[in-house]
Amino acid sequence: MSPAEQNQPVPFLDLPAVHAPLRDEFEAAFATVLGHGGFINGPEVRRFEAEFAEYCQAREAIGVGNGTDALELIMSGLGIGPGDEVILPGNTFIATAEAVLFAGARPRFVDVLPDTLLIDPEAAEAAVNENTAAVIGVHLFGQMADTDRLLEVTRRHGLAFVEDAAQAHGARFSGQRAGSVGVAAGFSFYPGKNLGALGDAGAVVTQDTALADKVRRMADHGRAANSRFHHDLVGRNSRMDSVQGAALSLKLRGLDQANAGRVRAWEQYVNELPAQVQPVARHPKAEAVYHLGVVQVDNRDKVCEVLSAAGIGWGLHYPTPCHLDSAYTAYTESLPVVERAAERILSLPMGPTITQQQVSRVCEVLREATSATG
């Protein structure tokens, strides 16, 4: 590390650096949209949907307003609603639970595996009852949940298997891409995601063309096929903007390379982290894309203080498990693995442009922090 690089702050995610090389292409694409004036669901959205479906090894992709809407539209599109229960891990972003509740169903939170912190298929199976309609496998931190075992469980009980792939664009499990395994998958293109838009956006990805048609129409006010004025479904407004479609197409071209940058950074973390800082494990069948660089550490608050003092960005995903959050007291459970992890997890700086020097700097500060905090 050169003296100039020593003690430099390290951002949690450097989005300006990610977007700088694409600036001219973004501006040209925006000018095209301004020129044709089809700002919503325009040709850029159609093109991106086709490209993203192919990327995910799926038949259909439908651009929607955001990832939460994508999951909710999947629930409603599958006819899941009042009286139904949906199994999901307690360790996820709150949006997964919101989608279940806004569809009118009841979330049933289950525990996660201690090594990957992803949904435990046995816990999911143990939670199945006569009201269960679906299991949501959340592919958290860039790693897919164990879809082999989750599919066994959902097939055995005749349940829908839905993927929350908001953090896993390009990840694989047993060679299959996120988005290609379940009955449908919800993706978020929130700007900080592996594939991020320049604002809010999301997609539903599915192999099921009938479900795709229903979701597409529900996201556009339930409009009947080939009709401007007739609505044969109760729908809503959750459509993708054309500028987001254009930006996403441009960024999709570089997604594999961007993911490779994250994998390199993670491998370096695993080699250089001090022993007191334990990286979240990868399942041998998983090809992870490290949306987040998550580790577990004791004395987390102290470690965070030292990181902040050194100008190192950090995050917590997630410090309050969904089943313990104050709006969710009606759905609380005892989930010891989630609860223990919530006190110890820490997300380190991660992104496609993070440098070797930056990862080394983070590890150096973590060494100081952990030796100081014991």
Ligand X SMILES: Cc1ncc(COP(=O)(O)O)c(C=O)c1O
- Cα–chain center distance at 125: 23
Cα–Cα distance for residue pair 307/296, rounded to 1 Å: 15
**Binding-site member from 41, 188, 353, 358 for ligand X (CB under 6 A):** 188
β-bridge partners, 271 = none
Query: Applying CB under 6 A, does 204 fall inside the site for ligand X?
Result: no
Q: What is the footprint of ligand X within residues 13-72 (CB under 6 A)? A: 66-68
Query: Applying CB under 6 A, does 93 fall inside the site for ligand X?
Result: yes
**Binding-site member from 167, 238, 259, 268 for ligand X (CB under 6 A):** 167
**Binding-site member from 41, 76, 91, 96 for ligand X (CB under 6 A):** 96
The nearer residue to ligand X, 292 or 369, going by C-beta atoms, is 292
Cβ 322 to ligand X, closest distance in Å? 11
The nearer residue to ligand X, 73 or 133, going by C-beta atoms, is 73
Residue written as tokens 């999709």? Answer: 252
Of 30-38, 88-96, 231-239, 336-344, the window that binds ligand X (rule: CB under 6 A) is 88-96
Cβ 305 to ligand X, closest distance in Å? 26
The Cβ-side half-sphere exposure at 118, using a 13 Å CA radius, reads 28
Of 159-167, 174-182, 211-219, 247-255, the window that binds ligand X (rule: CB under 6 A) is 159-167
Cβ 68 to ligand X, closest distance in Å? 3
Q: How many CB atoms sit inside 10 A of residue 174's CB?
A: 14
Cα–Cα distance for residue pair 222/196, rounded to 1 Å: 27
Of 11-19, 162-170, 228-236, 353-361, the window that binds ligand X (rule: CB under 6 A) is 162-170
User: What are the structure tokens assigned to 28, written together?
Assistant: 């040209």
**Binding-site member from 73, 134, 166, 286 for ligand X (CB under 6 A):** 166
Cβ 65 to ligand X, closest distance in Å? 8
Nearest to 97 by CA among 62, 150, 129, 136: 136
Cα–Cα distance for residue pair 328/141, rounded to 1 Å: 23
Cβ 171 to ligand X, closest distance in Å? 12
The residue count for the chain? 374
Query: Applying CB under 6 A, does 190 fall inside the site for ligand X?
Result: yes
**Binding-site member from 112, 138, 247, 354 for ligand X (CB under 6 A):** 138
CB 120 within 8 A of CB 110: yes
Cβ 367 to ligand X, closest distance in Å? 30
CB 97 within 8 A of CB 88: yes
Of 40-48, 161-169, 257-265, 333-341, the window that binds ligand X (rule: CB under 6 A) is 161-169
Of 24-32, 163-171, 269-277, 303-311, the window that binds ligand X (rule: CB under 6 A) is 163-171
Cα–Cα distance for residue pair 60/365, rounded to 1 Å: 45
Cβ 167 to ligand X, closest distance in Å? 5
* 2-to-7, 188, 328, 360 alpha-carbon distances in Å: 10, 38, 49, 12
- Sign of the Cα pseudo-torsion (114, 115, 119, 124, in order): negative
The nearer residue to ligand X, 347 or 353, going by C-beta atoms, is 347
Residue 136 sits at the vertex; the CA angle it makes with 130 and 141, to the nearest 5 degrees, is 155
Q: Taking CB positions, which residue lies at the least distance from ligand X? A: 67
Query: Applying CB under 6 A, does 173 fall inside the site for ligand X?
Result: no
Q: Which strands make up the sheet holding 176-177, listed edge to edge? A: 176-177, 172-173, 286-287
CB 321 within 8 A of CB 94: no
Give the residues lining the site for ligand X (CB under 6 A). Answer: 66-68, 92-93, 95-96, 138, 164, 166-167, 188, 190, 200, 202
